[in-house]
Amino acid sequence: MTEGLDAELAAARQRYVDAHPCSRQLAERAGKVLPGGNTRSVLHIEPFAFRVVGADGAILHDADGHHYVDLLGDYSAGLLGRGELVAGTIRGVLDRGWSYGAMSEPETAFAEAVVARFPSIEQVRFTNSGSEANIMALLTARYATGRARIVVFAHGYHGGPLYFGPGGEPLQLPFDWIVLPYNDEVAVAEAFADHGDRIAAVLVEPMLGSGGCIPGDPAFLATLRSLTSRHGAVLVFDEVMTSRLAFGGAQELLGLAPDLTTLGKYLAGGLSFGAFGGRRELMAAYDPASANALMHGGTFNNNAFTMAVGAAVHDSLIDAAGLSAVNERGDRLRTGLNARFESSPLPFTATGWGSLMNIHPVPGPVRSPADLGDADPRWRQLLFHDLLEAGFYLAPRGYLALTMDVSDDDTGRLLEAVEDFCIRRARLAHERAK
């Protein structure tokens, strides 16, 4: 009989390989033209990623005939689900025509909806991604303050070239960064005391998302607000993920108004999207008719599909009640997960906020990335493979982002699968991180 975590993981991987021969072939073909067969690093699965052939509602279908409950929701971009409103709006654009290279009404309607939803955003500009939105927000802050230095937080993720976790450095944009520990008010106060007159901006996620769904301590985030105000720096909230937590975003729940906010992911129903916006006096520099106007290009900034869907979903799908429902479902799921982990000898805990969460292979509590230091990645992988085999897709790192297509029935069955995992794998509990 095979024993031990390594052996169980090897067996689970082998079952995955055996069950995905078509995906394997497609991955081998992809590997000839895409490095590692991949064009979005986070989607890599060891030893190769299964290939999706279609999706409907909360279900993903793979090339090997399996289907999975989609609990990852395209890493949070899929919040609004795959319903008729988004599909019908896209069909409407197909009927009217696209690629205008000119202005049209939906971008105004979309911008009006964003401004109405987030009181700290008086004016907004669209981009193609959250990464671009963050780059633009930082450049805006540097321009407005005439300063160069930017405070970010370790394990923060603000886009491909704005990643401050392990391995992020080679591709970081060459800004003048100060990387501080998350949820550490003292470190930020010291940085401002030492060189507050050189800090252009503080860029922060109200919850560390990719860094493990670790909520920001309200006192920490409030300190960022007061220090930036006092020292004339720009506070940028990266709400690419967290804006889904309430109609007015995490900033509404926290009662804080940043100077600039960046948005992305789900706001255009899963189409390519990003936006940065905030105080009128900061954004006014982009008025092309103004003296010394800042030039912000972007062929696809106002592409007809994104603008139409963005405008349409704000009239109906994105309302306070819909967002509350999905976030309350998330809170119940996380409570249910932690109840199972607490009564199991396995070293797991779930962190997060509302519909965004991460299962970690540590007993918890997790208040900062340092609390994940002992996480054994083999446990993450074993949980991932066991849940995939049971028909549930979440990120290999244990991240889940519920969509509006996911039901209580789906989350209930996930809890049963997790309970089953805890029972079947209990005898491995003595294995500690290497």
Range in contact with ligand PMP (rule: CB under 6 A) among 151-159, 182-190, 219-227, 249-257: 151-159
Backbone angles phi, psi at 60, to 5 degrees: -105, 140
Q: Which of residues 396-425 bind ligand PMP (CB under 6 A)?
A: none
Q: Is 374 helix (H, G, I), strand (E, B) or coil?
A: coil
Rounded Cα distance, 221 and 362, in Å: 25
Rounded Cα distance, 301 and 274, in Å: 8
Q: Return the residue of 73, 81, 106, 159 that touches ligand PMP, per CB under 6 A.
A: 159
Rounded Cα distance, 53 and 99, in Å: 27
Orientation of helix 320-342 relative to helix 408-424, angle to 10°? 20
Pick 23 or 131: Cβ nearer ligand PMP:
131
Range in contact with ligand PMP (rule: CB under 6 A) among 118-126, 127-135, 364-372, 378-386: 127-135
Q: How far is the CB of 267 from ligand PMP (least distance, A)?
A: 11
Q: Take residue 109 and report the two structure tokens written for it.
A: 């309607």
73 binds ligand PMP per the rule CB under 6 A: no
Q: Any alpha helices (H) in 374-407, and if so which ranges?
A: 377-389
120 binds ligand PMP per the rule CB under 6 A: no
Range in contact with ligand PMP (rule: CB under 6 A) among 124-132, 171-179, 326-334, 380-388: 124-132
Cβ atoms within 10 Å, residue 346: 20
Nearest in space to 278 (alpha carbons), one of 239, 242, 305, 316: 239
Range in contact with ligand PMP (rule: CB under 6 A) among 142-150, 237-245, 343-351, 391-399: 237-245
Q: How far is the CB of 59 from ligand PMP (least distance, A)?
A: 23
Output the furthest CA–CA distance in the chain (Å, rounded): 76
Q: Take residue 161 and report the two structure tokens written for it.
A: 């070239």
Q: How far is the CB of 286 from ligand PMP (least distance, A)?
A: 20
302 binds ligand PMP per the rule CB under 6 A: no
Range in contact with ligand PMP (rule: CB under 6 A) among 238-246, 329-337, 346-354, 401-409: 238-246
Q: How far is the CB of 131 from ligand PMP (least distance, A)?
A: 3
Rounded Cα distance, 200 and 396, in Å: 36
Pick 73 or 106: Cβ nearer ligand PMP:
73
Q: Which of residues 193-232 bind ligand PMP (CB under 6 A)?
A: 205, 209-210
Q: Return the residue of 23, 120, 123, 131 that touches ligand PMP, per CB under 6 A.
A: 131
264 binds ligand PMP per the rule CB under 6 A: yes
369 binds ligand PMP per the rule CB under 6 A: no
Q: Residue 360: beta bridge partners?
A: 349
Rounded Cα distance, 14 and 20, in Å: 10
Using CB under 6 A, count the residues that bind ligand PMP.
Answer: 16
241 binds ligand PMP per the rule CB under 6 A: yes
Q: How far is the CB of 429 from ligand PMP (least distance, A)?
A: 32
Pick 278 or 347: Cβ nearer ligand PMP:
278
Concatenating the DSSP letter of every residue in 287-346 gives -TTSTT------TTTT-HHHHHHHHHHHHTTS-HHHHHHHHHHHHHHHHHHHHHHHTSSS
Task: Please list, in sequence order, all residues whose beta carbon lies within 8 angstroms of the beta carbon of residue 356, skipping any fewer than 6 positions away.
Answer: 76, 207, 209, 213, 241, 242, 244, 245, 330, 400, 401, 402
If you count them, how many residues does the chain have? 434
Q: Return the residue of 8, 62, 238, 252 that touches ligand PMP, per CB under 6 A.
A: 238
Rounded Cα distance, 206 and 239, in Å: 7
Pick 106 or 206: Cβ nearer ligand PMP:
206
Pick 23 or 303: Cβ nearer ligand PMP:
303
Pick 257 or 275: Cβ nearer ligand PMP:
275
Q: Which helix (H) or strand (E) holds 263?
A: strand 260-264
129 binds ligand PMP per the rule CB under 6 A: yes
Contact residues for ligand PMP (CB under 6 A)? 75, 129-131, 134, 157-159, 205, 209-210, 238, 240-241, 264, 274
